[in-house]
Each structure stands twice: as C-alpha cells, then as structure tokens.
Chain A
C-alpha cells in the first residue's frame, strides 16, 4: 500500500540517507538564469551535502565548483578583481582562476616551501569542479564534474511542460531579492511533494479555491523519475479568460492549450505553469519534520499599466463571483479551511498529516487508483534511489 516505512517521514536516519543518496546525487535547483546574469556574477547554493559555487565567465559560460577553499576548506569563495577573472577565499587570499586552478598562495616560498615543486595548478589543490546547466530558464547544479548531462535527466519530461518561456518573463517580487513566497512547513518534504502530485485532493480540499481548473479533465503521468500534469480551464473561465485573468495572459499560450501545467521534477522542484503565471516551487528539507518551501513567481514582461488594466478587468469579471476565492468552510479567516487560499489549505493538510505519523495506529488505509497513483510512484522512486546505494554501502 505504502511504498515507504513511516520512518522515512520521521527519522533522522532516513533524512540523512536522502541527503546523501538523493539530494547529493541529482541535479538540484539552484535558481533562475537571471540570478547569474553578467560576467563575474556568482551565487552559491546548498545542494544536499554540497555547497556549490556558480560563477559566470566573460565567455558567458557558467562554471560550478564546490564552495570550499582547498586550503582550510572554508566556504568563502567569491569572484573578485577587475573583470572578475579570479575566485578567491578572503580568509588567507588563496586565489583560483575561472577554471578553478590554483594560481596564487600568499607567502608561498616562506610558508609552504615543501608544498610541491610544480606549478601551483599542478599541485592537486585546484577547486573541486561541479556541474551547472540550464533547464527551462532554471539553473541546476550537480556535485560531480562529469555529471550525466541535464537533458538525460529532464529530457523525457520536457515534452509535457507548458509552452512558457521563463527567460522572457519577469519576476514578481514584493521586496527586492525576496521570493514571492517563503514558508517553513512542519512536515517532511515528501508529504509536501505527495500533496503537490495528488490529483485526488484537488476537487475536495480545494473545492472552492482551485475550481477555475477542470480537474475532471486532468492529464497526468510519469516520465523518467518526474511527474507531469495538465488540466484545462473550466469553460466558464475560459470563455472570459481575457478579462478574468488576474494578470496579463501568457503570450506563448495557444487557446487550446490554456490551463495549468504542474509538473514535479525529481526530487524536489515543482513548476506551476498557468495561463498567467509561471512559478517554481522548491521544497528544501530542513529536518525530518520541517521543510522550507520557496516559491518564485514570474509573469509577463509588460508595463505596470497593463497589469493595472488587467487587474481592473479581472475584478469586474463575473467569473470570480462563482469560482475561485471562497473557503471550503465558512468561518474565521484564521481557519485555513475558511481562508479561501489554496496554499493555506495545502500547508494545513500537510502539517496535520505529519502529526498523525507518530500515532501507533497510523496507517494508509487505501490509495486511489488514478488520483493517487503518482503518490505511490513517487514513493517508489525515492525508495529506489535510497536502496540503490544503501545495499552497496
């Protein structure tokens, strides 16, 4: 019934296994291409057990290294200098070039006379290389230098994604450098994924919040280790979508493909590609029962005025009188089930499920054949990745 033991959702042991065997061995979401827009720009991201440093060269190519100076291992790398041609660790100023080769050590002759009698870059102290690549406007890193190429990992799911071109959209940010939505959720990361890919709950938990989409017409399945999902708009919304849409409509979306593409890319990044927005949904495990969810949101690159016009039209559209923004139950707004906000509904469901896991009586009674098939499939992929390595250890 359930592919994984309850332990997998509660124990530190499983958390560690996943960190080591899933999050440190797969392509990990690292941001959006514009985060490293210009030559010399750099970021560092935690990817499982590894902290990876990404820097863009003047040749417009991204490089990735393990963010760890080869001297004392400090996680301090940054790109410096005129033209940002060097990577340095400010602790003792050991310096590397953009290929990660060690090029200078202060006081080399006096302090490290016996280090190695070859050129510095042949001393075995170059930065550990990692891999970085781009998929659908998103940056991904992999801790291995010769990682399997990113399209071998995502290629199979690509045809099921939306027609959106994220590079052409602009990010919606309420405050500078702030993601659209950040929340620490008291649930294991897999509970959150399972909620994301569970088609069965859409018509129930989100009865009055996501009913602008036609759940009965949802098409979903599995491609490689990834989940794909599409559902069209309900006819009522579709008929007036030009007015009713809260934001300017995606220009790349033909009418017959109007809807929501909601794939989940293994292991921990979802995309929500709708008629008017394109979001990344990054679930970062913090502890067995805690997960940080970061959502970044992009919309059409048009003027403020276009947004104002669209908002005005949307507010006066009759569509929203009947659908979209009511809570499942009436009540105090502090009750997630009365909030009229589907994210609050989901967070609530996830946290309440996590609570039950410690009950001695907990079990999954049954699983929906179609609507929850993806949940089971996801669990089996997790199991496969962990067991593949555990048996060999």
Chain B
C-alpha cells in the first residue's frame, strides 16, 4: 500500500496564474493497480534540498473516462512542494507516486438515482471535479447540483471543462459560481453581454448554502453532499447542512489543509516511545516538538504515511498506553478515536510513556 511507483509526467498544464495540473502516464501493466474511485488522491514523493517530502494531491481526472491520471496543484504561500511542482515539473520527468488512496470518494453505480450536492472552494475543486464527471458519465439518471466558490472569475480552476460539462449535461447538472471578489466593470458587461456567466457574490457560507438548496431542491430524493475546500469552508458548510437537518451519514468531506490553527498545546519533552511496526518493537525517545511519525522516520524506520496533514489516515495507529494530543484530526471519526486510534503524523505526547501499535 505504501510502495512508490515511478510514473512519467505526460502533460503539464497551466490552469490559472497559480495552479498547474499534471497528468501521469500509467504503464499498461499498472493500469489496473492504479484504478481509483472519484475523490481519491495520489501521494507524491520528492527530494527537495536533501529532505524527503511527501504530499497528497487529489485526482481531478475521472476513472470512468479513458484519460490519464491527473492532479491539480495550486501554489500555497511559502509552500515547499506546491511551489516546487509549479516551478520545476516538466513533461518527461519521473515522479515517485503511491497508489491512489483516500476515504473521500463517491461509490457510484450505473442504476443509481440520486441528487449529488457538490460544494467546492478554490483548489478543493480537484476531487469534486472527478466526482462530478464520474457521476454524469456513470449514473445516467442522477443529478448534480454544484456550488463552487472562488475569489474572482480569474481564479476559477477548470473553468473551461466545467462549462463544457454544463452544456453537455444541461438537464442534469446545475453549476453556480460564488465569487468573494468578483471582477466587474461596466465595460466587461458590455462586451460579454448575456454570455457573461451569472454568479453569486460571496463565499460558500451558511447563507449561500441555504439559498442554494432552496433554489435547487433535490428531484431524486436520495441525496448526498460532498464538500472540499480549506478548513473553515468545510466547517461552515457542514454546519450549514446540519442546521437544515441533513443527516451526517449523507455528508462527505475532504479538507485541504488550511487549518493553521492557533493550537498551542505543547507536548512532553523527551517522552519515551514504544512502537510496534511491521513486526518490530521500536524503543526510542520523542524529542520536543516532534510527532510520533517524524520520530520514527528520523530513527530510520519506515512507518506508513502519505499526506502528513492529518487528513488521509494512512499513518493511523492505535494508542496502547499513554496520552497524546492530535494537532489536527480531519481523518478519524469519533468512533475511531474512542477506540484509541490516532493519527501518528499529528500526535505529540502528553505523558512520559507512549506505546503504539501500527496494525
């Protein structure tokens, strides 16, 4: 599961001023192995400045189409990897890629008859675009109602592709853009006339969601709600849906970091760690500030991980004794936490002794 494969870059496409999409060539022999569900991501490994770094990027391609695997990468301010990719990756490069993974996906069936509500903000469009295309292609009777938030017209990712889908599936696909700082001046309106895309002004927030669902109520009554964007957008959207009594089991979320929380909890200095990993019992010390995962990596071990952002849950392990603090947990639900599972990439020790097992 945590093996890497070398894939060749097939295409590098500038999507907006600060975002690129990268398509990979999957050799025929690996075609099946690299099968994925719409909404999942790829984990990429780079060596930047002598340090090994991994990042996960959602696939925006659709497994229902015979198209190459494609990820979208938007520059993050001061982001190490996103800027590296945007600046350096070119056609023909070989990149270390893990198999598609992730718990955010839509389980689609040809005969399904559902209404999918998709909420995306910014680069959160990537997995949503994959779900969108795959629903429209696979489920001939299902409907998609999508609300997509951006700063302005210029920052809309995959705009062309979205417009094409809107035309092609006009009877089943509703798309509303909401822009927090729309560019508009009279001369533009004059030029584009009626062709100008109608958009809503504002963010993807409670008001926008209530308005959207009242304006576009579901026809097929079996509904699902998919949300992807930065942390606050996820929280707001989920809360807005809960406020109008959407049950939790119909809501699916994927967080794209952005939770630079004001979390100041500090761990215990030099706590002892006993970890069972791949049949080995490792005894070491967690130096101040480090996570359980980093401690093991720095000790030369090979724990499973991919996003290192508290989202993907690849690094999940079970706490056998001691207490930890998770800086960020977007991967585990309450029942898993209750059973003692933790995200090792986010866990710092709160007790002198910590014992974990990677199952």
Residues of A within 8 A of B (CB): 57-62, 85, 97-99, 132-134, 149-152, 155
A62 to chain B: which residues have CB within 8 Å? 221
Contact check, B245 vs A133: say whether CB atoms are below 8 A apart: no
B222 to chain A: which residues have CB within 8 Å? 133, 149
**Can you give 14 A-B contacts (C-beta < 8 A)?**
A57-B245, A60-B217, A61-B221, A61-B246, A85-B245, A98-B245, A99-B247, A133-B113, A133-B221, A133-B222, A149-B113, A149-B222, A151-B220, A152-B113
Indicate which residue in A57, A61, A98, A152 contacts B111 across the interface (CB closer than 8 Å): A152
Interface class of chain A by DSSP = loop
Residue of B nearest to A57 (CB): B245
B218 to chain A: which residues have CB within 8 Å? 60-61
Residue of A nearest to B114 (CB): A149
- A109 → chain B, closest Cβ, in Å? 26
Contact check, B244 vs A57: say whether CB atoms are below 8 A apart: yes
State A14–B214 Cα separation when bound (angstroms): 46
Indicate which residue in B112, B113, B141, B223 contacts A61 across the interface (CB closer than 8 Å): B223
User: 7 tightest A-B contacts by CB?
Assistant: A60-B217, A58-B244, A151-B113, A149-B113, A59-B244, A57-B245, A133-B221
A85 to chain B: which residues have CB within 8 Å? 245
Contact check, B246 vs A59: say whether CB atoms are below 8 A apart: yes
State A99–B251 Cα separation when bound (angstroms): 14
Contact check, A134 vs B213: say whether CB atoms are below 8 A apart: no
Contact check, B221 vs A59: say whether CB atoms are below 8 A apart: no
Residue of A nearest to B218 (CB): A61
Q: List CB contacts (< 8 Å) of B210-268 with chain A.
A: 213-214, 217-223, 241, 243-247
A97 to chain B: which residues have CB within 8 Å? 245
- B269 → chain A, closest Cβ, in Å? 41
State A60–B244 Cα separation when bound (angstroms): 9
Contact check, B213 vs A133: say whether CB atoms are below 8 A apart: no
State A134–B241 Cα separation when bound (angstroms): 22
Residue of B nearest to A62 (CB): B221
State A48–B220 Cα separation when bound (angstroms): 23
Given A60-B214, A149-B112, A149-B113, A134:B244 Cβ within 8 A = no
Residue of B nearest to A99 (CB): B247
State A348–B131 Cα separation when bound (angstroms): 56
B217 to chain A: which residues have CB within 8 Å? 60-61
- A392 → chain B, closest Cβ, in Å? 25
Residue of B nearest to A137 (CB): B219
State A60–B213 Cα separation when bound (angstroms): 7
Residue of A nearest to B214 (CB): A60
B245 to chain A: which residues have CB within 8 Å? 57-59, 85, 97-98
Contact check, B241 vs A150: say whether CB atoms are below 8 A apart: no
A99 to chain B: which residues have CB within 8 Å? 247
